Structures are given as structure tokens and as C-alpha cells.
Amino acid sequence: MSAEIDYYALLEVERTADDATLKSAYRKLAMKFHPDRNPGCTESEARFKQINEAYDCLKDPQKRAAYDRYGHAAFQQGGPGGGGFGGGEGFSDIGDIFETIFGNAFGGGGGGRQQARRGADLRYDMEITLDEAFHGKTVAIDIEVSSPCDPCGGSGASPGTGTRRCNLCGGHGKVRAQQGFFMVERTCPTCHGRGEVIESPCRSCGGEGRVDKPQKVEVQVPPGVDTGTRIRLSGKGEAGPFGSPPGDLYIFIHTKRHAVFERDGTTLLTRVPISFTTAALGGDIEIPGLDGSRLAITIPAGIQSGKQLRQRGAGMPVLQGRGRGDLIIEIMVETPTRLTARQKELLRELQATETGEECPQSRGFFDRIKNAWSDLTE
């Protein structure tokens, strides 16, 4: 690259020239000094190369920004100051220059140290009953989790001692290797991204800044939770290394099977057996609700097995909302298996009075059987 001639002067434009002005000036000068128009003229050929070099730099916004700030030194190995990476003076390569101008766009926030690593999140599986899911509950759980070390206060250094700047990365937390125009950047293997090295590690935590401790955590389970509900307790996870922020604790809810009710979201389902006489004549039954009340259910006369009755607002609470879902009662008509002689006599009397009109579904079914048999025998 030419190091003496100013790129703007080569293109004969002002430093505030926009892209269109730069392009127009370049085309005009390129045509003027093109080797085909000046055969055998070494000066025109050299000027043509300089013009192309200047335009190639200034048409690129990132290269132009670096050139405007540092001139030709922006593209020379070692940067304008010639200082090393670890000393904090100048720039070690073009990546440092771009990083200073454009911030994190070139990976690293101005060469500062790596941000503190947050502690890990933890998971706890909690099993509750359907009644507890209905009402909600407060429960204390015991967990063992990494917590800040008391003797060193989470710093990892022995009491009365401190840290020093890492010699390998110069306190930046990262080391780089340049490959042509690009850089490969990785966390410093000595300080692990902190930029500092502990001179005398704490004996209690071994320099980690955290130790495993049993803890009791109070969990508020809201009404309406279901299997798969996740409750987040911020800051109750593992402590971060060297005093960095802790992670979160996630409580995963699992609901036990209930003896009476099944659940589908906010809807409760139960199956209720009734006698065939109640199914035929109708009547009233009571079933207990999860809220402690007794629900009166009216059975219409002639109800069939599998029929569902809906009780609005008698289901599960809406999680983090208002109202409740519904309760669905599925009727199961039960045929008696133990009859007294008198009961059998009464049933025979009833059977003798049947005309077929009492059970329309049975009549329709046997009519279809009769028609199908007639088609087969014709």
C-alpha cells in the first residue's frame, strides 16, 4: 500500500465526500490513467494502481472509518501505536482498531475482559396431589447447591490477599492469533477470561469462590398448576464462580393421579355409576368437589351410558387468572348382578309389558339387522 499519498487527495475529493461523489471521481480518474489509454507510460500505470487502492479502501464504510481515524497505519501490522496486546498501549492488529471504532461488532467490547460467568440453573421435580394443585400451597424444600464461600466472600482469594493482572493476556481475558486479515480469539487459558489471577487461593473453596451447602428454599405453588408447570425462583441456582451472579432454580410440577377425578387443563372429568332404575326414572345424586362442597347433579329420565353432564365453573382454577373450568360427569348405567326373588318377579312383570317403544335405540338396531338379513336371503 502507498503510505505517503492521501487517499482523498488521490481521488481529488473532500474528506466529507459521499459514496456517489467518490464513485464519480474514481471513474473519471480511472479512465484518465487507464494503461490502455496510456500505453507504455509507467507513471500512468502506477497512478492507476494508486487510484484503485484508494477507492477500494474508501468505498468500504469500515475501512474508511479506520482510515479516517488512523490513516495508513490502520492497515499496517502492529497498528498506529505499535504497542503489544498485553500492555494496553496502541493496537496489536487491525482487529483492535476496528474493535475500538465499532465496539462489539469485531468481538470483544474494546478488548475488555470477558464478562463474569453466571452460575448454572438448577432443576427440582416436585410431586403434588390434585387437591394441592387446586388450592395451591407453600412448601419448603431441601436442596444442596453451590453457594458463595464464606471465608473469602466468593472472591476465591485467601483473606487478606488479592489478585494480580494476568501476564498472558495483559488483563484482557482473551488471547488472539491473527490469520491474514482475520483474527482467531479465545478465552485466556491462564485466567479463564477474568483478566486476573489469584495469588493465594482460598483453602476453603480452592480458589473457586463457592462451596456446596444444604439450603432450605420456600416455594409458593399457585392454584391451578398442572403437570409440566415450571416455577422459576430467580437467583436460587448455583452461585457463579469468583463472586459472579447465581443462576436460577426451576421447580417442575408433577401431579399425582386422583381417585375420583381426571384432569384435562382446567376441566375435571369423573365417571359416575347409577342404577338402571335411576337411569330410567331420573333422580338426583351428589358428588364431592375439590373445593370441599357437595355438587348436586340432576339425572334426567332415560339417560344412557356414556352421556356426559356438564357443571359450569366446577373445575380447576385458571392458573394466574380468574375463574374455573368445568366439571364433566360421564354417566355409567350399571346392570344389577344380585337380585332378590321379589326384584326378579317385578322385572319379569315389567318385561311382559314392554312393547319395544321404550328403547328406541334397540328397536332401530334390530330393524337394521332384520333388513340386512332380508337382503342376504333374497
Percent of the chain exceeding pLDDT 70 equals 80
Q: What's the CA gap between 105 and 328, in Å, rounded?
A: 59
97 pLDDT above the threshold of 70? no
Task: Report the pLDDT averaged over residues 353-366.
Answer: 68
Give residue 2's pLDDT. Answer: 41
User: How does pLDDT run across 260-311, given as a tens digit for each residue?
Assistant: 999 999 999 999 999 989 999 999 999 999 998 999 999 999 999 999 999 9
Chain centre to alpha carbon of residue 160: 41
How many CB atoms within 10 Å of residue 166? 22
Q: Is the domain 260-368 a CATH 2.60.40.1840 member?
A: no
Provide CATH 1.10.287.110 ranges for the chain.
7-106
Residue 203 Cα distances to 192, 242, 276, angstroms = 20, 14, 79
Provide CATH 2.60.260.20 ranges for the chain.
116-156+208-256, 260-368
Chain centre to alpha carbon of residue 44: 61
User: How does pLDDT run across 23-48, given as a tens digit for each residue?
Assistant: 899 888 988 888 878 888 888 888 88
Sign of CA dihedral 260, 264, 268, 271: negative
**CATH assignment of 116-156+208-256?**
2.60.260.20
Task: Report the pLDDT averaged over residues 125-133.
Answer: 96
Give residue 102's pLDDT. Answer: 44
Binding residue ranges for Zn(2+): 149, 152, 166, 169, 188, 191, 202, 205
SS (H, E, C) 60-116: CHHHHHHHHHHHHHHHCCCCCCCCCCCCCCCCCCHHHHHHHHHHHHHCCCCCCCCCC
User: How does pLDDT run across 190-247, given as a tens digit for each residue?
Assistant: 787 778 888 888 888 888 888 888 999 999 999 999 999 999 999 999 988 877 889 9
8 Å CB contact between 173 and 190: no
Binding residue ranges: 149, 152, 166, 169, 188, 191, 202, 205
8 Å CB contact between 315 and 266: yes
DSSP per-residue string spanning 142-178? EEEEEEE-TTTTTS-BPTT--EEE-TTTTTSSEEEEE
Of 55-59, 264-268, 314-318, the least confident? 55-59
Q: What is the mean pLDDT of the chain?
A: 81
Confidence bin at 362 (pLDDT 50/70/90): low
Residue 110 Cα distances to 40, 288, 344, angstroms = 49, 67, 95
Give residue 209's pLDDT. Answer: 84
Confidence bin at 185 (pLDDT 50/70/90): confident
Neighbouring-strand partners of residue 297: 285
Confidence bin at 374 (pLDDT 50/70/90): low
12 pLDDT above the threshold of 50? yes
DSSP 38: S
49 pLDDT above the threshold of 50? yes
Give residue 108's pLDDT. Answer: 43
Q: Cell numbers 315389567 label which residue?
A: 350
- 1.10.1060.10, 3.40.720.10, 3.40.50.1820, 1.10.287.110: CATH of 7-106: 1.10.287.110
Task: Please compute Rg for the chain using Cα positions.
Answer: 41
How many CB atoms within 10 Å of residue 51? 22
